[in-house]
Amino acid sequence: DEHFPALKGHPAARVHAREAAEKQAGLAAAEEEKKRGGKAATVKEFQIYRWNPDAHGRPFLQSYFVDLGTCGPMVLDVLQKIKSEHDSTLAFRRSCREGICGSCSMNIDGVNTVACLKPIDTDTSTATMITPLPHMYVVKDLVVDLTNFYQQYKYITARIMERSIEPWLKTKRPAPEGREHAQSPGERRKLDGLYECILCACCSTACPSYWWNSEDFLGPAALLHAYRWVSDSRDDYGEERIQALSEGWDKLYRCRMIKSCTATCPKSLDPATAISALKTMHQLRKA
């Protein structure tokens, strides 16, 4: 891991980076062998979920065959190559290519993740299957409707906290003139693992409780953000936030600690622990 010092503290990113480097090295060796001995190109099959609402047909899996020797190391590179060279009608979201924006979230070989951080499986004996995030309405192909997901986040940052919280600090005391509200390094470290969420929806769409109760249960992503503000030492409205969050059993207590959210998070965050902490805070407040 000394090869990836910038990724210290981000185990999932380190795993992806190491895996991508190893597989790219293998592909480079295969390309050199091909040049020397005429070995066939490293071609892999990708089965991609397709559905066009204008075509009035059923969804289906379409196979594309891509030479990995002429492609970047990540699944998003494959999708970009397919769209630009094979099929311009393929629809998917993408933006930053660096695991920051959360746009390219999808299900790859049964696991929710972001395509820009997921290394290509270079085993050409099996196909890679790419489908939309599960239990979401599909707009087209790999694009899902995130309206309800963002409404849950909006509820956390606007409506649920309407008496006290917007998505920024709320204090009952003004900061010293010309100064910011101070926070010690230790207090700041308590926010690690909370503020890094990129709202990719991988966690919420991996949660069975969210699948069946998405209209009531706020979901792992929204609750992780709620805990982030409750945990900030500079904020003075923690009590009000907890009270608003606990108004209605389904909003918080639909979580069954299955922990699929934590297992699938591409940023190595732990929404399950954050939700458990919110429950504890609420119970202690009642006691």
pLDDT at 35: 67
- Residue 83 contacts residue 141 (beta carbons within 8 Å): no
Packed helices 238-245 and 271-286: angle between N→C axes, nearest 10 degrees: 100
**Residue indicated by tokens 């969804």:** 59
Domains defined for the chain, CATH in brackets: 5-144 (3.10.20.30), 147-286 (1.10.1060.10)
pLDDT at 216: 85
Instruction: Kindly give the pairing relationship between strand 43-50 and strand 60-67.
Output: antiparallel
pLDDT at 201: 97
The predicted model scores a pTM of 0.83
Q: Is 287 helix (H, G, I), strand (E, B) or coil?
A: coil
Beta-carbon contacts of residue 37 (< 8 Å; ≥ 6 apart): none
pLDDT at 161: 43
The CA distance from 145 to 254, in Å, is 22
pLDDT at 168: 73
274-278: long-range contacts at Cβ-Cβ below 8 A with a sequence spacing of 24 or more? Answer: 274/194, 274/220, 274/223, 274/224, 274/227, 274/228, 275/220, 275/223, 275/224, 275/227, 277/227, 278/223, 278/226, 278/227, 278/230, 278/242, 278/245, 278/252
Q: Which one-letter DSSP state was computed for residue 248?
A: S
pLDDT at 40: 58
- pLDDT profile of the chain (287 residues), mean per 10: 63 73 70 63 92 93 94 95 96 94 97 96 94 97 94 63 53 84 92 93 96 89 91 88 79 92 95 94 77
